[in-house]
Chain A
Amino acid sequence: MLDLRAVTAGYPGHPPVFRDVSLTVAPGESAGLLGPSGCGKSTLARVAALLHRPDAGTLHLDGERIRHWRHRAPRAQRTAFGVVFQQPRLSADPRLTLADLVAEPLRATGDREHLGERVAALAARVGLTGDLLSRRPHEVSDGQLQRACLARALVLRPRWLVCDEMTAMLDASTTAALVGVVEEYRAETGAGLLAVGHDRVLLDRWCDRTVEWSSLITPAAQAPAR
């Protein structure tokens, strides 16, 4: 159970992006989050994936309350989430080849057993073929890079997937392929999914449940108290 309650989050030096937002995702469920741009849905996804410490509110992961974010969070909690970001160009280190990119979480967690085979199997699964794995990010297309980023998110076999506008800048066939890989992985492992996006048609088809951003805000916060 991924349970965000009355979360307020923002960035230093600015007023909070959102206040008192609550969202619950059941294990194995896929939840789609729809919202206009700039409303804070990416920030909420970052809070959920332990990448951004909220200013207020609580996050319970499988019944356990999360008290620390980013590096302070225990490694097991951080790696329970596979995160795919919106812009593959920015979310891939430009110095690593795609093979290193995918293998990086395995190396970081010290899990080096059969590393090459596992990376190769995962690459085949996301559709990275041929010599693509030996190329660097600037030598591949956005779609191919996003495939590698999805492989990186899956390589530690996370219990939760957070896809932050994963397909926003991809064509229809790549979108279909990536969504297919995610669904195949979820069918196999029963992982939960939080998919953020603004494409209602896609999220409706992809997710068990689609929620509007406006419905997440706790009614008390909407009252003109401030």
Chain B
Amino acid sequence: MKMRTDKKIIRMLVFFVLLLGGLTMVVPFLWMLSTSLKEANLVYQIPPQWIPKPADWKNYVELFTKTNILSGIGNSVIVSICVLSFGTFSTSLSAFAFAKLDVPCKNGLFLCVLSSMMVPFVVLLVPQYIIYTKIKWINTLLPLIVPASLGSVSMMFFLRQYMSGLPTELLEAAKIDGCGYFKIYCQIFLPLCKPALISNIIMVFMGTWNDYLGPMIFVNDSEKYTLQVVIKMLNSYHETQTDIPLVMAASLIAILPILILFIFCQKYFVDSMAITGLKG
């Protein structure tokens, strides 16, 4: 009996520690929401007001009418759609070839591609900038779209692992039936990889939507800014007198799409993070 109550107490204790941790995770976001609904002068009130009275949606209206956040969202959406559609296609296609097909010097090519993951991004950043300048890609969205549309190495690695686990007999049977390789890829293997593909898409979307480094370096034209750069500019624009509620509202909007996706596709998120996370 005594053991039981001991265990119960420990469980309660753990629960409260977890609760405390969970609060430190979520309270900053609630504070963000609360601040975004305040009038500018209410922000500096001490002690702080948690539920703003009156709740003020003016900041959101101002955000969409007076700043270039709409064009930022537009650009982010364009980049994300391109990268997601082309990138997923080319990543899964090469993963299929590396997993199931006979490619000349397959292992060598695969090792080459993998080795590119070992090099820190900063080594490639400057020469990439030079190349993009030469081919006049600076201040367009192309540097954000084209390289990523050719696939992502870590995703390719992950999808290849997944496809290697699928039975090769499927390929042999389809070949005997005279099915073309592309057809085998898109009608047999792609549907079988659905869970892995969804994880892949979520991960790539998260990376693309949240990307700040690429847009910051390769795009200097305010009409071509992606959402992340727009909200960053909102802040530094008035460094001395930042309109804090406005910036918080913008930040919330930047987080929102991923947040909604995260809440609805939690399982896929967790799967994909376990495979490819830790990049940030």
Asked if A and B are interacting partners, one says no
